[in-house]
Amino acid sequence: MFAKILIANRGEIACRVIRTARRMGVRTVAVYSDADAGALHVEMADEAVHIGPSPVGESYLRGDKIVAAALATGAEAIHPGYGFLSENPDFVDQVTAAGLVFIGPSAASIRAMGLKDAAKRLMEKAGVPVVPGYHGEAQEIVLLASKAREIGYPVLIKARAGGGGKGMRRVEHPDDFSEALSGARREAKAAFGDDRVLVEKYVDKPRHIEVQVFGDIFGNVVHLYERDCSAQRRHQKVIEEAPAPGMTPALRKAMTEAAVKAAKAIDYSGAGTIEFIVDASQGLKADRFWFMEMNTRLQVEHPVTEMVTGTDLVEWQLRVASGEKLPKTQSEIALSGHAFEARIYAEDAAKGFLPATGTLHHLKFPDTVPEGASMRIETGVRTGDAISPFYDPMIAKLVVHGKNRQAALEALGISLSQTEIAGSTVNTAFLAALAADADFSAGDVDTGLIGRHQQALTAVPPPSSEIVAAAALAASGAGAQAPTRDPWSSLAGYAHFHAMARRTRLRYGEDDILALVSMRPDGRFQVALDAPYDSALDLRAAPRLARWPGHVTVFSGAVGYSFAVPDPLARADEIAAGADSLRAPMPGLVKLVRAAKGETVIKGQPLLILEAMKMEHTISATHDGTIAEIATEGAQVTDGTVLVRFAEEAHG
């Protein structure tokens, strides 16, 4: 076994690897960028090495710096985590050329599966079923459009490199093919440096079911059953589970055998995942699944497999990479119970899942789960940490296990409802709504479920009078306490001898709220609210809430209602943002400008494309008008930057 390893990653996966290494007595070296100097993975590791500025291209994607850090600290091996360099065969060559061990598959195996088109041709030769489509080298638009017609619409354009939904477009009609192809190519080029694509038949009711495989250098390969990752938004996974609901013995046998066959075809060693698309339009059948791609690394959702098989896949990675045989044979690996993983992100679900930033002023996960269930939190952040625009905005993975799917689903809902995060917009309410969705609860899930139910899943009811009153009560004591203290304690004595009242102002969205807070002699608080609430409430018990600089967040189930608390001594500085301008919803790069100064545009017309988190976001006109100013291509913008300004006469 290794004495010391370096982890070429950050965030929750770096922390995850460190925990297992520590349990095994293996010392760890972390690497970090400027933005991560105070990160949790840096604190947890035995040593840490600075590798560059915050942009990934200058730090976490610099294989030379990472190898140099490993050599300088005496690490014997490098664990890549997922993302970044984890599936880069050139990096594997760098590692091995330096006399180090790459904790993962060989460069040859990664190359074999690294490009979707070549991988599918290889799988066809190995007898693994592949989805109908064009996987050739030629990339002329006329040829691709012709192949799309042959396959039959709808089709799916997919980047041949990378994953995560980047460079992917569904096309319903031939007239939309050219535009979709251009967008997929741009996004693929930005994310993977490769704009080549493949075209496949779009399955009507697709289930995304994947099989965890594991191999060693002695030619042994086993599977650890399947995971269902069909709950996706924008082609990115949201809630994963194991085993797959509705899985039949015949399909499981066919799918796991195909996965093992695929891994053996490339002499695979280490942790890997074979991803299949399953046509669920007529139920799960053994002849209705096709190979999509192989992820030659540990998956984000690996904890659900660990929960249902009682394994530590990171430990297996370390053991296999150090030259040991697989810890278990196929007959020794059994399924037990059911597990879910919910990915908690800093994002605004109601605004199309736009990534968010901010500081996690309050971060609290559940302490308990229902009897008979278990839970684990995988995170790389703490209270006070910032969500950086440079990296994926994941906050945590909440993983639960129960004796069956219903028990695990109940534990998931309760755990999400008890999670408290303040300081950034997060998706906990959306996750809870998805977990409670009737189709999801019944196991009737496919990759289009979220899209079909998106409006209902992302709708957040307005705060009740009780929630507003609680926020006002907490805000009324703001001047007498530090933000991290219990906001109720400072109020307990301010009307000790006689009734007093305190005026408090709040802002929720576009609403200005005026409240009058007083304390009765019997210890109850009374909060009188102006329009639109027009109510007076008596409060005694403290709800779940967090007070943070300039804000109060009140938690109701999985929803966090955040209220701004204006400083009464500060000068009101209203910045007009009205209908005469469009502002950047997040930090990003102006990738493409489709309109010009002086041009007359119509409502809904695409004006420019903003790239953030390696994804493209279209900014469209909110009304008819004439453009007075528009951002330039290549401009880096911050959250709130004016991208488009309309002439004053543009609307009326």
Active site residues: 297
Return the DSSP state at 144: H
Distance separating alpha carbons of residues 78 and 92, to the nearest angstrom: 9
CA proximity to 205, closest of 162, 174, 173, 246: 246
| E strands present in 95-172 | 101-102, 133-134, 155-159, 168-171
Cβ atoms of 260 and 252 closer than 8 Å: no
Cβ atoms of 228 and 275 closer than 8 Å: no
Cβ atoms of 100 and 78 closer than 8 Å: yes
Distances 556 to 420, 453, 484, 560, 574 between C-alpha atoms, Å: 10, 22, 19, 6, 30
Distance separating alpha carbons of residues 211 and 255, to the nearest angstrom: 8
Distances 308 to 206, 404, 411 between C-alpha atoms, Å: 24, 10, 15
Cβ atoms of 18 and 314 closer than 8 Å: no
Cβ atoms of 563 and 507 closer than 8 Å: yes
Cβ atoms of 63 and 90 closer than 8 Å: yes
Question: ∠ CA 494-499-501 to the nearest 5 degrees?
Answer: 75
Residue type, 229: C
